[in-house]
Amino acid sequence: MRDEDIDFSDIPEITNWEGAVRGWGNHPARARNRVNLHLPNNLERRLQELARREGTSKEVLIQQFLLERTYQEEVRLGILPDSSAR
């Protein structure tokens, strides 16, 4: 599955992670590689439903979403060129 195949538009809260808390895990090996996300229950359920429809795991879905948002922010800040402008 490619990142662009996932449609987050049916979850309005996805662009506003209200109530979500980011923090590093307390396991030293995992802390270097992962960010724990603590999501409100209703958002977590909706992400799980979307992951099931897409045939992937919720963790993969969240990872792809975060990569997409990071890319968008880096384009906005001028760190990366906008590939859609081609």
The domain segmentation of the chain, as residue ranges, is: 3-80
Distance of CA 2 to the CA centre of its chain: 14
pLDDT per position as a tens digit, 8-27? 565 555 544 545 544 444 44
The whole-number pLDDT of residue 37 equals 66
The whole-number pLDDT of residue 62 equals 81
What is the torsion angle, in degrees rounded to the nearest 10, for the CA atoms of residue 69, residue 3, residue 81 and residue 84? -110
The whole-number pLDDT of residue 26 equals 45
The whole-number pLDDT of residue 2 equals 47
- pTM > 0.75: no
The whole-number pLDDT of residue 12 equals 52
The whole-number pLDDT of residue 10 equals 59
Q: Mean pLDDT per segment of 10 residues, for the chain of length 86 residues?
A: 54 51 45 61 85 88 81 86 72
Which of 15-45 are b and which e, b meaning 16 or more Cβ less than 10 Å from the residue's Cβ?
eebeeeeeeeeeeeeeeeeeeebebeeebee
